[in-house]
């Protein structure tokens, strides 16, 4: 072995770079959850009556549900009463009119994170909605988007300004009782992004949201709702970070996408929540429900995710392919290191005729981590000529980690063609040796091989994100094989 154990140790133990805490005055509810908390939450946010009912219905249902235990995850029991369900930077109270009024400390935080929140960085050309703990702090490029007819705003604002749109679509993809964490989110979500792209509009820029959990003992429950009306097109990015804390923090988000006739949604995620330290202390519990409905003919939804953070990831971005000729795609890189656990994958539900789906999943497991791909491809009887191809590959780095593959394939239509293939292997010594004898260091060789391994997914990411994703992989993994 050419790379010394020490070197590996060093590389694996790279610190979490986004782990700073921002000292801000915050307005936080005391920990605990009951109907009063939900009523208070709804009141603080000045929500329409239907929202409160929606939340209470979800909460009542949630109380009857058991916490799911089917995933290949070891989760310490979560005390839902020890979490605060609302935390907002205090300066937000009056509501900033423009970026100038946003707490400069906050802007600093985002600068540290490298988010082009400043409109000066207009050239970056990305409209950003930043969510800090529970509330949305600023949305950039509002004017330009408005000209195009695109609505891009915090969902709390959408509830004030476009309540009928929200009412029509909220919960129509992920119903309140869908699963334990979705029900919890429906009851207590505090903010998130709302996007509506009108008929025939091609969104003039990439939309982006940054999430950050800052305050201690809070959970983040954001809700994203994206509606692409007929013939529209949107690309949406999300990124997440959190400070380093010893306790586990809960993140339970719900993302709903609706694509109507000929609409296209591209949803990219770079998830870099704090993964906990090398002994598995602290870190974010990331329980996310993401689902897209291709309701219209010829619509398309593409999920791309790079999952490098979180102590526990439980996430299955799915596509319900209702419209004829609709297309679902899922590209994923999931990296787990140290004691991280990830159980992630997708569901492709084929209902319409000639629907097609592609799944490419790359799992990399290092340290003592467990990495699971869990996917469902379901072809209903009505889905004539449905087509699916699934490929999931796992790369093992270190002898104490695990990589698991649990695909489910259910086909009720004889004209469907479904393929699934999976491999698990480690970086071969031959490959390493070859690169090294060409003059690359062991570190560079591994980095190159891992990047090559993930290339199929990275090429789906928008340019800026692809760079970030590669850098993230670099931090966590470079040369971690010997």
Partner 1 sequence: MSGEAYLTEYPAIAARLPGVDLPWLQGFRKQALQDFGVSGFPGNREEEWRYTNLSALNKTLFAPSASQNVDEDWLNQYSLDDAASVVLVNGQFSASLSRLQDLSAQVSVSSLKQALQDRPAWLESRLGQAVTSAEHNLVAFNNAWFADGVVIEVVAKQQLDRPVQILHVVTQADALAATRNLFVLNEEAEAEIIETYVGSVGSYFTASVNECLLGRNAGLTLYKVQLEAEKAQHFGGTYVKQARDSRFNHHNFALGSGLARSDIHTGLDTAAECSLNGLFVAGKRQHIDNHTRINHLKPHGISREFYKGVLDNKARGVFQGRVIVAEDAQQTDSEMNNRNLLLSADAEVDTKPQLEIYADDVKCSHGVTVGQLEEKSVFYLQSRGLDEEAARNILTFAFANEMVDKVENAELKALLLKELLERFPAISL
Q: Is 420 in the site for partner 1 (CB under 8 A)?
A: yes
Of 406, 440, 464, 475, the residue at the interface with partner 1 (CB under 8 A) is 406
Helices 442-458 and 463-477 pack at an angle, to 10 degrees, of 140
- Output the CA torsion 394→397→398→404 (10° steps): -10
Q: Tell me the CA end-to-end span of the chain in Å, nearest whole number.
A: 5
- Among the candidate windows 125-133, 178-186, 242-250, 399-407, which touches partner 1 by CB under 8 A? 399-407
Dist. CA 218–CA 220, nearest whole Å: 7
DSSP state at residue 456: H
Question: Among candidates 75, 78, 69, 66, which has minimal Cα distance to 33?
Answer: 78
Classify the C-alpha dihedral 170-176-180-184 as positive or negative: positive
- Among the candidate windows 217-225, 353-361, 402-410, 463-471, which touches partner 1 by CB under 8 A? 402-410
Dist. CA 245–CA 277, nearest whole Å: 9
Question: Among candidates 322, 383, 339, which has minimal Cα distance to 13?
Answer: 339
Q: Is 41 in the site for partner 1 (CB under 8 A)?
A: no
Residues binding partner 1: what is the number (CB under 8 A)?
A: 36
DSSP-assigned states of every residue in 238-287: EEEE----SSEEEE--EEEEEE-TT-EEEEEEEE------TT--SEEEEE
Q: Is 418 in the site for partner 1 (CB under 8 A)?
A: yes
Q: Is 431 in the site for partner 1 (CB under 8 A)?
A: no
Of 71, 403, 435, 461, the residue at the interface with partner 1 (CB under 8 A) is 403
Of 423, 433, 452, 459, the residue at the interface with partner 1 (CB under 8 A) is 423
| 266 vs 368 by CB, closer to partner 1 | 368
- Output the CA torsion 455→457→459→461 (10° steps): -140
One character per residue 353-392, x = contact with partner 1 (rule: CB under 8 A): --------------------------x-x-----------
Please state the closest distance from residue 427 (CB atom) to partner 1, in A: 10
| 240 vs 403 by CB, closer to partner 1 | 403
Count each helix (H run) and each strand (E run) in the chain, helices first.
11, 24
- Among the candidate windows 9-17, 104-112, 396-404, 465-473, which touches partner 1 by CB under 8 A? 396-404
Q: Is 73 in the site for partner 1 (CB under 8 A)?
A: no
Interacting positions 121-150 with partner 1 (CB under 8 A) = none
Q: Is 405 in the site for partner 1 (CB under 8 A)?
A: yes
Please state the closest distance from residue 144 (CB atom) to partner 1, in A: 47
What is the helix, strand, coil percentage profile of the chain, to 5?
A: 25, 35, 35
Tokens describing residue 101: 């009024």
Of 63, 404, 444, 451, the residue at the interface with partner 1 (CB under 8 A) is 404
Q: How far from 405 is each of 268, 334, 391, 465, CA to CA, in Å?
A: 23, 13, 11, 27
| 237 vs 392 by CB, closer to partner 1 | 392
In terms of C-beta density within 10 A (0-12 exposed, 13-18 middle, 19 or more buried), how is residue 339 classed? Answer: buried
Please state the closest distance from residue 373 (CB atom) to partner 1, in A: 9
Q: Is 65 in the site for partner 1 (CB under 8 A)?
A: no
Of 5, 23, 70, 100, the residue at the interface with partner 1 (CB under 8 A) is 70
Dist. CA 71–CA 460, nearest whole Å: 27
| 250 vs 386 by CB, closer to partner 1 | 386
Of 90, 122, 400, 459, the residue at the interface with partner 1 (CB under 8 A) is 400
Q: Is 413 in the site for partner 1 (CB under 8 A)?
A: yes
Dist. CA 304–CA 238, nearest whole Å: 10
Q: Is 419 in the site for partner 1 (CB under 8 A)?
A: yes
Can you say how many angstroms the Cα of residue 86 is from the centroid of all Cα atoms in its chain? 21
Of 30, 95, 414, 439, the residue at the interface with partner 1 (CB under 8 A) is 414
- Among the candidate windows 2-10, 150-158, 412-420, 448-456, which touches partner 1 by CB under 8 A? 412-420
| 219 vs 345 by CB, closer to partner 1 | 345
Please state the closest distance from residue 382 (CB atom) to partner 1, in A: 10
Residues contacting residue 59 through CB under 8 Å, at least 6 positions apart: 33, 35, 38, 183, 187, 188
Please state the closest distance from residue 430 (CB atom) to partner 1, in A: 13
Of 128, 252, 397, 435, the residue at the interface with partner 1 (CB under 8 A) is 397
Residues contacting residue 450 through CB under 8 Å, at least 6 positions apart: 364, 395, 427, 473, 477, 478
Of 424, 431, 441, 470, the residue at the interface with partner 1 (CB under 8 A) is 424
Of 15, 168, 410, 471, the residue at the interface with partner 1 (CB under 8 A) is 410
Interacting positions 253-292 with partner 1 (CB under 8 A) = none
Tokens describing residue 146: 């408005």
Helices 442-458 and 5-12 pack at an angle, to 10 degrees, of 40
H or E, element range at 447: helix 442-458
Please state the closest distance from residue 379 (CB atom) to partner 1, in A: 8
- Among the candidate windows 92-100, 241-249, 350-358, 401-409, which touches partner 1 by CB under 8 A? 401-409
Residues at the contact surface with partner 1, assessed by CB under 8 A: 70, 72, 379, 381, 394, 396-426
């Amino acid at each position: 072995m050419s790379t010394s154990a020490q070197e590996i140790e060093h590389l694996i133990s790279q610190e979490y770079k986004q782990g700073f805490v921002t000292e801000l005055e915050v307005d936080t509810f005391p920990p605990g959850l009951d109907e009063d908390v939900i009523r208070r939450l709804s009141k603080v946010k000045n929500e329409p009556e239907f929202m409160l009912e929606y939340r209470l219905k979800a909460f009542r249902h949630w109380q009857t549900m058991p916490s799911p235990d089917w995933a290949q995850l070891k989760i310490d029991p979560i005390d839902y009463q020890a979490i605060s369900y609302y935390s907002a930077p205090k300066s937000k109270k009056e509501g900033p009119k423009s970026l100038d009024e946003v707490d400069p400390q906050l802007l600093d935080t985002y600068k540290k994170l490298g988010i082009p929140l400043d409109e000066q960085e207009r050239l970056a050309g990305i409209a950003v909605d930043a969510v800090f703990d529970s509330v949305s702090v600023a949305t950039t490029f509002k004017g330009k988007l408005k000209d195009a007819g695109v609505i891009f705003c915090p969902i709390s604002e959408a509830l004030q300004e476009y309540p009928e749109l929200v009412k029509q679509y909220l919960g129509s993809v992920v119903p309140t009782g869908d699963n334990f964490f979705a029900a919890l989110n429906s009851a207590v979500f505090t903010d998130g992004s709302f996007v509506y792209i009108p008929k025939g509009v091609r969104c003039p820029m990439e939309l982006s949201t940054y999430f950050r959990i800052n305050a201690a003992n809070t959970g983040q429950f954001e809700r994203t709702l994206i509606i692409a009306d007929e013939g529209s097109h949107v690309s949406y990015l999300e990124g997440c970070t959190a400070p380093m804390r010893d306790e586990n923090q809960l993140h339970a988000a719900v993302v709903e996408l609706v694509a109507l006739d000929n609409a296209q949604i591209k949803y990219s995620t770079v998830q870099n929540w704090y993964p906990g330290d090398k002994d598995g202390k602290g870190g974010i519990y990331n329980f996310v429900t993401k689902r897209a409905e291709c309701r219209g003919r010829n619509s398309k939804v593409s999920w791309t995710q790079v999952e490098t953070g979180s102590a526990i990831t439980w996430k299955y971005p799915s596509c319900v392919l209702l419209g004829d000729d609709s297309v679902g795609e899922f590209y994923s890189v999931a990296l787990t290191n140290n004691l991280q656990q990830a159980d992630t994958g997708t569901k492709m539900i084929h209902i319409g005729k000639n629907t097609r789906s592609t799944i490419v999943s790359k799992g990399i497991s290092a340290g003592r981590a467990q990495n699971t791909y869990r996917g469902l491809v379901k072809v209903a009887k009505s889905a004539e000529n449905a087509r699916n191809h699934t490929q999931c590959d796992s790369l093992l780095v270190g002898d104490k980690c695990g990589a698991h593959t649990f695909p489910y394939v259910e086909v009720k239509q004889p004209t469907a063609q479904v393929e699934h293939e999976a491999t698990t292997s480690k970086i071969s010594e031959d490959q390493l040796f070859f690169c090294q004898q060409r003059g690359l260091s062991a570190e560079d060789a591994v980095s190159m091989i891992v990047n090559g391994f993930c290339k199929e997914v990275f090429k789906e990411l928008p340019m800026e994100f692809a760079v970030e994703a590669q850098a993230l992989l670099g931090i966590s993994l470079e040369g971690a094989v010997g």
